[in-house]
Structure 1
Amino acid sequence: MTPPHDHPHFDSAHHHAAALPHPSQSPPWSILRMAVWSRLGVAFAISALLWAAVLTAMR
């Protein structure tokens, strides 16, 4: 006699075949979607912050 088998199985949540990859999802934010001038501005701001940290550490 086998015991009752009524606990849930959680492996049934996968809805794609095992041989297929997960479907792609678009990222919420991407630097590639920004305009060129916006990218340059962000790069300049990050560079300025990093140089400020270096110069502060050298004091």
Structure 2
Amino acid sequence: MVPPHAHAHGPASPHPAQPAPWSILRMTGLSRLAAAIAVSAGLWAIVWLAMR
């Protein structure tokens, strides 16, 4: 009898890599910079709201 969710790797080996839907490493430099600025602005907005 086979269990409903059989693993395809041995118990001592890690899970195989899953394909990522997106990766920051595949973004262009300008896109990475824009994402970093957006995240930074969002975090500063949280700080600004907390200080009010």
Q: Tell me the TM-score normalized by structure 1.
A: 0.65
Whose RCO is larger (CA < 8 A, sep 6+)?
A: 2
The count of residues paired between Structure 1 and Structure 2 equals 52
Q: What letter matches 1:47 in structure 2?
A: S
- Structure 2 unaligned residues grouped into runs of 5+: none
The AA in structure 2 aligned to 1:34 is: M
1:7-46 matches, cutoff 5 A: 8-10=1-3, 13-16=6-9, 21-46=14-39
Q: TM-score, normalised by structure 2?
A: 0.71
Counterpart CA distance in 1 for 2:42 and 2:5 is 48
The sequence identity of aligned pairs, in percent, is 56
Distance 1:44-1:19 versus aligned 2 partners, 3 A rule: same
Over aligned residues, Cα RMSD in angstroms? 2.3
Aligned counterparts of 1:11 and 1:20: Cα–Cα separation in 2: 20
